[in-house]
Amino acid sequence: ETITVYSPYPRELIRSLLNDFEQTENVKVELKQGSTQVLLREIHQSDEDELGDIVVGGVLSEMIEHPDDFEVYESKNQKYMKYAKQKVPYVSDFILMPTTIVVNEDLIGNIKVRGYKDLHADELKGKVVYSNPLETTTGYQHMKAIESINHDVDDVKDFMSSANKVDKSSKVIQEVAKGKYYAGLSYESDAKAYINKGYPLKMIYPSEGTMLNHDGIALVKKENINPKSKKLINYLQSKKVQQKIADEYKIQSGRKDVFNQNKQVAAKFREIPVIKDEDISHLTRKQFLELIQ
């Protein structure tokens, strides 16, 4: 018996959670990785017999263009989540993920980078990289963060015309780590994974406002839904798994009753200058993407 999970997360993060589930449930979990929109497109275009089962990760409440590809589902754990009510009925909440700037410390020298504005410095011309907002959660969320500063899409256009676009979020972190670019628009888990590997990187929560991603989980609509797929959603939202995510990966849990045991980590999270909901553009993803073209 096999279930297939689509995920845009770094392998190290998602695979270990799935491995634990495989053991407890005695089921094999196959993993398909890619940028959020690439995976959603694959699901939309798949024939019934090739369809996988669950998407884990990505800001699915906004990234999903075809809600009909997914099953309306509310797990028994949803009530314990920080946002007890699902934003859309086909997405369950998972974890909260800040989008961050990363800089290569060996290259950045004296150039101060605290937020998005600093990336416009003359010395950084051609040295900043970001991932395609049409294909990735990360690129899209950063562009929304930039818009939220002055509520002006021209700021997004200015940024895009002076920075370098790549097709995948994982390339952003790779290329800043290896020194092809001085700075990039990334997200916490990817940045931390590379910092842990020893690359000379620093992670910066944009001072003008940091976008906190509400990462989701969605159940693929198909004729025969494996009951283990629903079990996996409940499992990923369970207190045990969420506590492990908080403690081992120092990620902000999506649950109300899970806190980072490490006081320093918890204090750091409270200091992140998170953009307030009311400052985020209320346009749909489609409208927003049209405006920034």
Where along the sequence are the contacts to ligand BGP (CB under 6 A)?
Answer: 8-9, 35-36, 57-58, 97, 99, 131, 136-138, 141, 169, 187, 213, 215
**Which letter does DSSP use for residue 242 in this model?**
H
Q: Which is nearer to ligand BGP, 59 or 153 (CB)?
A: 59
Q: Which is nearer to ligand BGP, 226 or 250 (CB)?
A: 250
Q: Burial level of 203, CB count in 10 A (0-12/13-18/19+)?
A: middle
Give the nearest distance from C-beta 39 to ligand BGP in angstroms.
8
Give the nearest distance from C-beta 223 to ligand BGP in angstroms.
28
Return d(Cα 160, Cα 147) in angstroms, integer. 12
Element at 104 (helix H, strand E): strand 92-104
Q: Which is nearer to ligand BGP, 171 or 221 (CB)?
A: 171
Cα diameter, the chain: 58
Q: Burial level of 248, CB count in 10 A (0-12/13-18/19+)?
A: exposed
Residues whose CB falls within 8 Å of the CB of residue 147, separated by 6 or more in sequence, listed in order: 153, 155, 156, 281, 288, 292
Return d(Cα 211, Cα 214) in angstroms, integer. 9
How far, in whole angstroms, is CA 27 from its chain's centroid? 26
Give the nearest distance from C-beta 120 to ligand BGP in angstroms.
22
Give the nearest distance from C-beta 26 to ligand BGP in angstroms.
28
Give the nearest distance from C-beta 227 to ligand BGP in angstroms.
25
Return d(Cα 96, Cα 82) in angstroms, integer. 10
Q: Which is nearer to ligand BGP, 213 or 253 (CB)?
A: 213
Q: Which is nearer to ligand BGP, 57 or 206 (CB)?
A: 57
Q: Which is nearer to ligand BGP, 37 or 75 (CB)?
A: 37
Give the nearest distance from C-beta 206 to ligand BGP in angstroms.
13
